[in-house]
Amino acid sequence: MEVSASILSVKEEESVHTFYRLELAKVDYFHIDVMDGKFVEEDSQEEMKKYADNLKNITNIPLDVHLMVDNVKKYVDIFSPNEPRCITFHFEAVKDKEEIMELINYIKQFSKVGISIKPETKIEEIYDFLPYVHNVLVMTVEPGKGGQELIPETIEKIKTLKKYIEENNLDTEIEADGGINLSNINELKNVGVDIAVVGTALIEAKDYKYMVNKLKE
Ligand code: DX5
Ligand code: ZN
């Protein structure tokens, strides 16, 4: 299982040092949570753009961009110059099937594509798109802020998704995001999560290397 470090809660004055420590701890990705103040209440766009620019200068660890925004294309244009490994947008922000397919193809010019769903959205709603995306990001908390508790019902959803992916011979990877820590990581591993996004549990840990190793073991 890979670990994508959510840097949403990193304070600016500590950011360079924190990014360096995360790199030494060998996180697999830096997870960039872009919030527009519309799709979710918070607005993190300026800070996250600054962090993405900064990271591109100091590390080779790939960026994993999670767009919690209404206007997807606008933010794809803002973050694609940072050459992320993957850009993920929310199913709930678009919904119209044709528009979703257009966005998938648009993002593919720049990076891998992910589609994300909120906790209350049924997993079956995105089945049609699975052959065209690289990644499904299942929100295990309500998007909008870090430091929340994982919603247990979302694990059942991941199980269903994994089964569907296997039965249909797809190679879509599953990413889980929100409230992930040492007490629930094994459960996520067991249901087939490929990438765990970890924010608070990692950023607030004293020893990043120890925490990343523990999460992966
Ligand atoms: C929530 C974000 C998550 C989250 C992760 O809206 O998408 O990436 O902040 O942080 P923790 O691990 O604190 O839930
Ligand atoms: Zn996220």
Map out the domains of the chain with their CATH numbers: 2-216 (3.20.20.70)
Confidence of residue 87 (pLDDT cuts 50, 70, 90): very high
Q: What spacing in Å lies between the alpha carbon of 32 and ligand 2's midpoint?
A: 7
pLDDT at 198 over 90: yes
Q: Please list the residues that pair with 64 across neighbouring strands.
A: 31, 86
Structure tokens at 50: 């600054």
Phi, then psi, of 157 in degrees rounded to 5: -60, -40
* pLDDT for the residue numbered 209: 98
Determine the Cα–Cα distance for residues 132 and 130; give it in Å rounded to an integer: 5
Q: What spacing in Å lies between the alpha carbon of 141 and ligand 2's midpoint?
A: 10
Amino acid in the structure at residue 48: M
* Ligand 1 pocket member 200 (CB < 6 A): yes
Task: Give me the residue label for tokens 């527009």.
Answer: 36
Residues composing the chain: 217
Determine the Cα–Cα distance for residues 217 and 212; give it in Å rounded to an integer: 9
Q: What is the mean pLDDT of residues 154-158?
A: 98
- E strand segments, the chain: 2-6, 29-35, 63-68, 86-90, 112-117, 135-139, 173-177, 195-198
- Among the bound ligands, the one closest to the CA of 10: 1
pLDDT at 161 over 90: yes
Residues identified as active-site: 33, 177
Mean predicted lDDT score pLDDT of the chain: 97
Cβ–Cβ < 8 Å for 105, 75: no
Q: What spacing in Å lies between the alpha carbon of 47 and ligand 2's midpoint?
A: 14
Confidence of residue 95 (pLDDT cuts 50, 70, 90): confident
- Among the bound ligands, the one closest to the CA of 199: 1
Structure tokens at 157: 């959803």
Determine the Cα–Cα distance for residues 131 and 143; give it in Å rounded to an integer: 25
Q: Please list the residues that pair with 66 across neighbouring strands.
A: 33, 88
* Ligand 1 pocket member 144 (CB < 6 A): yes
Cβ–Cβ < 8 Å for 104, 132: yes
Phi, then psi, of 72 in degrees rounded to 5: -60, -50
Q: What spacing in Å lies between the alpha carbon of 145 and ligand 1's midpoint?
A: 6
pLDDT at 33 over 90: yes
Phi, then psi, of 100 in degrees rounded to 5: -60, -45
Atom of ligand 1 nearest to the CA of 199: 12
Ion ligand 2 residues within 5 Å by Cβ: 33, 66, 177
* pLDDT for the residue numbered 126: 98
Determine the Cα–Cα distance for residues 206 and 211; give it in Å rounded to an integer: 8
Cβ–Cβ < 8 Å for 118, 92: yes
* pLDDT for the residue numbered 177: 98
Confidence of residue 133 (pLDDT cuts 50, 70, 90): very high
Q: Please list the residues that pair with 43 across neighbouring strands.
A: 36
